[in-house]
A and B are shown apart, each in its own frame.
Chain A
Amino acid sequence: MSQPRIPDPALLRGLTQRRLGRRDALRISGLAALGGALAACGVKGKGSPGASAPAADAVAKFWAGKTSTGKLNFANWPLYMDPAHPELKKFTAATGIEVDYQEVIQEMGPWFAKVQPQLAAGQDIGFDLMVITNSIQFKQFVDSGFLAPLDHGKLPNYAANADAAYKKEAFDPGNVYSVPWTSGMTGIAYDPKKITRPITRLADLWDPAFKGKVGMFSDTQELGNFGMMALGVNPEKSTPDDWKKAAAKLKEQKSGGIIRNYYDQSYIDALGKGEVWITQAWSGDVFQKNVSDGTDFKFVIPEEGGTIWTDNFAIPVTAKNPLDALKLIDFFYQVEIAASLAEYINYVCPVPAARDQIRKDAAAKTGKDKAALEAVADSPLVFPAPADYARLHYYRSFATAAEQQEYQGIFEPIVLG
């Protein structure tokens, strides 16, 4: 608070002394006029939409003269790595590069808004590597020219081990600016201690039996997608008309008092505290929560379908240690490292060969650990089969800024209601 914590009686006297009058109003307008002269400037943007295709020599130009510095700052989301960071320790042991790993991203909108002014000013954001979702903001990052074009000549493990499907994803064809960290599904998490019947459908999120105990995401894309899927609409191919219908459906959920709140990654804390019993959730979080806090939450992909998204490594153009970042990216594409990460986080692994590695790791263990690792290798959430993909929907991409603003304009008021 900008109010004093220890109000001094003298201060209070000072505050009570003056009364405002007409002359003060005149003074204010005088000051405003003075400032007016100073404020004619607009805010400059950094790019143009559709400028996604980089110049042919962009890669060479960016990487020319870059040298390894032996350190690296990595911005990631919570619940995306074993808290002991075993993979990073191995990386440091192998390369001598120190990694400062920070869990500072909890939602894409706030992350973009936070770094945008710094990147637009050409300043270092303090991070050389970040993990960003293929959402609205991914396009904003690319269109603004904030992402460094990757030098694939330095990513041999990626070339050798990544799932071919990832090399032609619509949001970044040819992986010009990004390679996947991991993919995941958005589905439903619930607490079986509070909800005794099995949860299978999206409609369960609208069930009045859970009044005041339902959580949804505050991210407009995540939220809108579930509204559309509940109406049987595929979000990827949705029209503004579908958005309005979905918004009405979501408003119904809210005005009925069914919704407790709209969350970023804090939904997992809310679930842990019993604030919500059932909530929109990301596939791997629940497993990690169960492991680290001894809870017993369940995660399901609803019958109507869930969404699949990809979180991606990206290097900001202002990174001080981009070469070290690139090395780390490639390190995570070693089969053993990819396997070790997937074993803990339970998100979709972009390295198919990691499945056999996990089975091998399981064979070396006994009892409960063995069963847990075998479950990971067989989990459709980590290695989805084609039939699983059939139930999953992709995010809609927006061709123009106007289209995206229209979408935001429809769903934002629900979250901010």
Chain B
Amino acid sequence: MTGRRMLYAYTWLVIAWLTLPVLIMIAFGFNDTPGRYNQSWDGFTLKWYGRVFELDELTRALVTSLAVATVTMLVAGALGTGIGYALGRYRFRGSGTVNLVMFAAISSPELVMGASLLTLFVSLGVGPGVVTITIAHVMFCISFVAVVVRARVLTLDRSLEEAAADLGANPWTTFWRVTFPIILPAVSSGMLLAFALSIDDFVVTNFTAGTTTTFPLWIWGSTRVGLPPQVNVMGTLIFLVGVAIAVTTSIRSRPARRR
């Protein structure tokens, strides 16, 4: 019994440790710092929330990040779903190779992926920018979407599709009316994953960005001389939005599971 209580306390300790930097980040968004940068605690203020979009470069970086993440989510979502569905549904020659490439793409060091893309762009004489960032993000997101979708397709109850076919639906109708709604939760969670991976990516982006700046890149660059409190405010807002999305999706998916 004491062992169990110790485990309980330990788990909460780990959770506290994980959350500490987040709390610090949120707290420093309310710091009434006199200078341009956050260094020590100088009292409470809400002013940075009113001035969150005051730094044009930072705002632009955030917009770039959101745009790249949205495009990545859509493109990687579509391409990844294709692969995931094919792998889960069909047995075909070459499926092993596809699996292997995906495994390699997921387990390769990000640094190496970013670096190799840079060598490709340099060799082709293509200048890095928003387009190359998006290409890179789609590349490393495809596999994640595909793996999530494949897992769902594998557990698909074939009898539902057969029933639809028996009732006279053609394959196309069967897919859109029966199969797709069933795999939709997996597709959307894969797409959310792609969005999250893209908006947070630093390493691959750093190699493929050139002078284009995304939110993580801007933070990285500005931390050299000091981080303005607006970064903490934006970090806090992104955190809250992310948590809100996660909570609503999990609540929405709950009744479905019960059925």
Residues of chain A touching chain B, judged by Cβ–Cβ distance below 8 Å, are 1-2, 4-6, 8, 10-11, 13-15, 18, 20, 23-24, 27-28, 30-31, 39, 41-44, 75, 78-79, 83, 100, 102-104, 106, 114-115, 117-123, 125-127, 264-266, 268-269, 272-273, 292-294
Judge whether B211 and A31 touch: CB under 8 Å.
no
- Tell which of A14, A42, A118, A266 touches B148, judged by Cβ atoms closer than 8 Å: A14
Q: Are A120 and B200 in contact (CB under 8 A)?
A: no
User: Complex formed: what's the CA distance from A241 to B229 in Å?
Assistant: 48
Binds A, one of B8-16, B65-73, B120-128, B160-168: B120-128
Does A2 lie within 8 Å of B125, measured CB to CB? no
Q: Within B88-136, which residues are at the interface with A (CB < 8 Å)? A: 96-97, 99-101, 103-104, 106, 110, 113, 118, 121-123, 125-129
Is residue B37 within 8 Å, beta carbon to beta carbon, of the partner chain? yes
Q: How far is the CA of A114 from the CA of B123 in the complex (A)?
A: 15
Q: Which residues of chain A come closer than 8 Å to B197, judged between CB atoms?
A: 2, 4-5
Q: Is the Cβ of B151 less than 8 Å from the Cβ of A13?
A: yes
Q: Is the CB of B212 within 8 A of A18?
A: no
Expressed in whole angstroms, the minimum distance between the Cβ of B100 and any Cβ of chain A is 5
Bound: A405/B99 CA distance, A: 43
- Write the nearest CB–CB distance from B58 to chain A, whole angstroms: 11
Closest to A28 in B: B100
Given A15-B106, A121-B126, do A114 and B211 touch, yes or no (CB 8 Å)? yes
Of A10, A78, A118, most B-chain CB atoms within 10 Å: A10
Judge whether B62 is part of the interface by a CB distance below 8 angstroms. Answer: no
- List A contacts of B204 (CB < 8 A): 2
Given contacts A4-B197, A268-B225, whether A117 and B210 have CB atoms under 8 Å apart is: yes
- Chain B residue, CB-CB nearest to A2: B110
A115–B225 contact, CB under 8 A? no
Partner pick for B147 among A14, A41, A122, A268, CB 8 A cutoff: A14
Whether B203 is near chain A, meaning CB under 8 Å from some CB there, is yes
Q: How far is the CA of A75 from the CA of B211 in the complex (A)?
A: 10
* Option from A18, A41, A123 in Cβ contact (under 8 Å) with B99: A18
Contacts of A114 in B (CB 8 A): 210-211
Interface centre among A114, A117, A272 (most CB of B within 10 A): A117
A193 CB, min distance to chain B CBs, angstroms: 14
**Known: A27-B96, A114-B211, A115-B211. Contact between A11 and B35, CB under 8 A?**
no
CB under 8 Å from chain A, chain B span 183-204: 186, 189-190, 192-193, 196-197, 200-201, 203-204
**With A6-B193, A117-B121, A273-B39 as contacts: A104 and B225 at CB distance below 8 Å:** no
Q: Say yes or no: A292-B140 contact (C-beta < 8 A), given A78-B224, A265-B225.
A: no
Q: Which one, B34, B193, B203, contacts A4 given CB within 8 A?
A: B193
Question: Which residues of the partner chain B approach A27 to less than 8 Å between Cβ atoms?
Answer: 96-97, 100
Distance (whole angstroms) from the CB of B21 to the closest CB of chain A: 15
In the assembled complex, which residues on chain B have CB atoms less than 8 Å from the CB atom of A20?
100, 103
Residues 201-238 (chain B) with a chain A CB within 8 angstroms: 201, 203-204, 210-213, 221, 223-226
> Is A4 in contact with B224, judged by CB distance below 8 angstroms?
no
CB contacts (< 8 Å) of B129 on chain A: these are 118, 123
Q: Are B224 and A264 in contact (CB under 8 A)?
A: yes
Q: Chain B contacts of A272 at CB under 8 A?
A: 39, 226
- Decide if A10 touches B186 in the complex (CB within 8 Å): yes
Indicate which residue in A2, A44, A83, A104 contacts B211 across the interface (CB closer than 8 Å). A104
**Given A104-B221, A118-B127, A5 contacting B200 (CB threshold 8 A):** yes
Could you tell me if B189 and A266 are in contact, using CB atoms closer than 8 angstroms?
Answer: no
In the complex, what distance in Å separates the CA atom of A24 from the CA atom of B102?
Answer: 12
User: Are B211 and A43 neighbours in the complex by a CB distance under 8 Å?
Assistant: no
| A41 lies within 8 A of B123 (CB) | yes
Looking at the assembled complex, report how far the CB atom of B134 sits from the nearest CB atom of chain A, in whole angstroms. Answer: 15
Q: What are 13 A-B interface contacts by the 8 Å CB criterion?
A: A5-B197, A8-B190, A10-B148, A10-B152, A27-B100, A75-B211, A102-B57, A106-B224, A118-B128, A118-B211, A120-B125, A268-B225, A269-B223
Given the interface pairs A118-B127, A118-B128, A265-B224, the reply to whether A1 lies near B103 with Cβ below 8 Å is no
A2 touches B113 (CB 8 A): yes
Closest chain B CB from A16 CB (angstroms):
11
The complex places the Cα of A104 from the Cα of B148 at a distance, in Å, of: 39
Question: Which residues of A sit under 8 angstroms from B39, Cβ to Cβ?
Answer: 272-273, 293
